[in-house]
Amino acid sequence: MSENELKRKIDDIEVENEAKKLAVENDQKEDIIADPAAHFVTSQYELLKRILAHLPGRQLARCARVSLAWREASRIVMKDREKKGLGKPAAFWWIQPQDLKSSSFKNNLVEKQIAEDFSQKLDDFSATVKFTPKVVIIFNTPHQGKEEYQREYILKKKFPKAMIFGGNSFGLVGTDQSGQAFESEENRKPVSKCSLLFIPPWPGVKFTTIGLTKETPSELQSMEVPRVDAALILSPQNFLENISVTNSDVAIGGASPDTVYGEARALCMENVRCAVVLLDQTCKTESKIRKELTRLKGKFNESNGFCLMLACCGRGKYFHKGKKDVESKIFQSLFPGVPVIGFFGNGEIGFNSRNTFYEHEEFEEKLGEVNEDEIFHGFTTVFMVVSIDTTDTSSSKTH
């Protein structure tokens, strides 16, 4: 809603009518409303909350700085959104403008213009999202230059309280602002691209990261995936052998990007519904891909879920005889409206014991360590779906 529309809304609503509505909704306020001064303040406060409820998360945070009353009203609106889990995950896609030539990448002026375009487009996108993201997953093309021009730096500056997790790869999977998913594979010419996913502050869902410590060389460290519902793992190839999974009752998706941001190597999620399907090198035809992806039906809530597509760099259009976007389009035809992001990597990570990737196997929770060949794959696309768990906690959870 624009600023002018908000002003017209304020002008059109009569304070007396608001007070009468509030008196009907809450009999306890009758004594307050009897006093004219309190009547005015109360009705304005309730009116303010109703107006603020229309604002996106970032604008709502700015309004909270106006006064104590606005801060309290903004806090209540945000809390109400968190309780309702308002807002499904939102995907953002950005690509370098064509008028900014790739050959000029080392030019500081062009580098600045590219950063400014990304920043402005991100602002425009976030202005349409009604929540402040709890987690932002970012997949980005590699880029160098000044820190303030780097997209992960811009993202952290705009959302300082969000958990940011991701990495760099030349080939990306994204969903644009129209809701269309596609696969943007590696280009011969360097073109900057970025695929983002905003995850709302889902009530009851816990997000944590695990990874490396700066004090010890990475090759000497190990990482054990804890007992959680789902884990997104991003790891360089030379660290894959250091990852262990002692509990097989977990949905795991991931791949090896060119680089990973920071020290985190896994984004862990608890109290979510999730499932994983692997498309291995024998899964070539569209009919077989559709059959495999159909197994995700009923495994997550499509109304508030998202999908991570983590593919081998050997798949894509070259794997499908020059046909583009085959796998992402089939997924979206089965799950319309579910945002998809991901990348093309150098080795895939995937496992889900409740949704096995061998048709003849039945679910059997294992107690021991999972074998490497069950987790690490090649020429594979990992589809991992995640949503908030709205089922009764007393019932068994389906991954």
Per-residue pLDDT of 164-191, as tens digits, reads: 999 999 999 999 988 999 999 876 567 8
Which three-class secondary structure state does DSSP give residue 189? coil
Alpha-carbon gap, residue 391 to 230, rounded angstroms: 17
Residues of the chain with pLDDT under 70: 1-43, 45, 56-58, 81-87, 101-106, 144, 187-189, 212-220, 353-372, 390-399
* Both tokens assigned to 279: 């498309």
Rounded-to-integer distance, Cα 160 and Cα 176, Å: 24
Type of residue found at 118 = F
List pLDDT tens digits, range 192-240: 899 999 999 888 899 999 886 666 666 557 788 888 999 999 987 777 7
Neighbouring C-beta atoms of residue 302, cutoff 10 Å:
18
How many CA atoms are closer than 13 Å to the CA of 1, on its beta-carbon side?
A: 16
- pLDDT for residue 12: 52
Length of the chain: 399
DSSP state, residue 389: -
Domain boundaries, the chain: 3-84, 90-388
Give the end-to-end CA distance of the chain in Å, rounded to a whole number: 38
